[in-house]
Amino acid sequence: MIVEINGNPLDVELLGGDDPGKPLLIAHHGAPGLGSRREPSAAFGHLSDLFRVLVFDARGSGKSGDVPPFTHEQWAADIDALREWAGAETLVMAGGSYGGFLAMEYTIAHPHRVLALVLRDTAPDHTHEEAATANARASSRIQVDEDKLDRIMAGQIRDNDDFRDCWASILPLYDHEYDPASIQARVDSVDYHYATHNFAFAVNQHHYDVKPGLPSVSCPTLVTVGRSDWITPVECSETIAALIPDAQLVVFEKSGHSPPMEEPERFQQVVRDFLVTRVLDA
């Protein structure tokens, strides 16, 4: 459904019914300008028997509107407005990749709202970009197009057709097991918003660093990551888990950037066990 949030239409889906007795879980997708609610729905929709799971296309992504600004502050404000729209005082906050950036920023800004934090393949600051670029260039899987890699990482995409081409050129890097036959369908499934991506990568990332705030996170935290994640390598999640008191780190040995898709049964069990133990039974 389309919901007007802070002056911008967002495409929102609430899984698990409208039972106010169920805790709310909001899951934020990654890849601003590329991502959509399909990703967090696949990762966290299985929890709809226990939680009301709210997934959405963020401002400037998917089927949602493109009203700027595309800042972390605005995206975090949209999360809080969605919480209020759902009628919840508290929530479980989840996010993958760039969505993990926003999940951490929201948790640091609203500690009294967050019952638990679940992160997937994310980073605590922007220094992962250098490692990601090196990993892409060292890949034996593809011959990286240097111009496209540099422009997508720097937020210098020319238009949506260029965004599509640049995305297609690096998509083979993401999975633990490479399936060339799946690439075209994945490229075709995306709604492209190049201006959102450019602002996120050319402006937001240069200032992104939540490390100083992570030691103040007091809610139960689960940090998950794929062993062969090229863009937010394991070391990033290790840093997050080391900075957040009593955080639990789980590495998925047969996954790249998306354990929910590559090891779905184990990922779902790890997340479910964590939330049942640390939230529902606490």
pTM of the model: 0.96
The pLDDT, as a whole number, for residue 20 is 80
- Cα–Cα distance between 47 and 138 in angstroms, integer? 38
CA–chain centroid gap for 195, Å, is 18
Asked if residue 96 lies in contact with residue 43, where contact means CB atoms within 8 angstroms, the answer is: yes
pLDDT in tens, 125-170: 999 999 999 999 999 998 999 999 999 999 999 999 999 999 999 9
- Cα–Cα distance between 266 and 254 in angstroms, integer? 11
pLDDT in tens, 170-182: 999 999 999 999 9
Sequence-ordered list of residues with C-beta below 8 angstroms from that of 229, at least 6 positions apart, any chain: 121, 255, 256, 257
The position carrying tokens 């260039």 is 137
Is pLDDT of 282 > 90? Answer: no
Matching CATH number, 2-127+209-280, of 3.90.1150.10, 2.60.40.1180, 3.40.50.1820, 1.10.10.10: 3.40.50.1820
| For residues 262-267, average pLDDT | 98
The pLDDT, as a whole number, for residue 134 is 94
- Cα–Cα distance between 86 and 244 in angstroms, integer? 28
- Domain range list for the chain: 2-127+209-280, 128-201
- Cα–Cα distance between 142 and 157 in angstroms, integer? 21
The token pair at 272 is: 């479910």
Assign 3-state DSSP to the chain and report helix, strand, coil percentages, each to 5: 45, 15, 35
- Cα–Cα distance between 118 and 189 in angstroms, integer? 26
Asked if residue 53 lies in contact with residue 37, where contact means CB atoms within 8 angstroms, the answer is: no
Strand partners, 28: 95
Q: What sign results for the dihedral spanned by CA atoms 95, 228, 278, 108? A: negative
pLDDT in tens, 13-70: 999 988 888 999 999 999 999 999 999 999 999 999 999 999 999 999 999 999 999 9
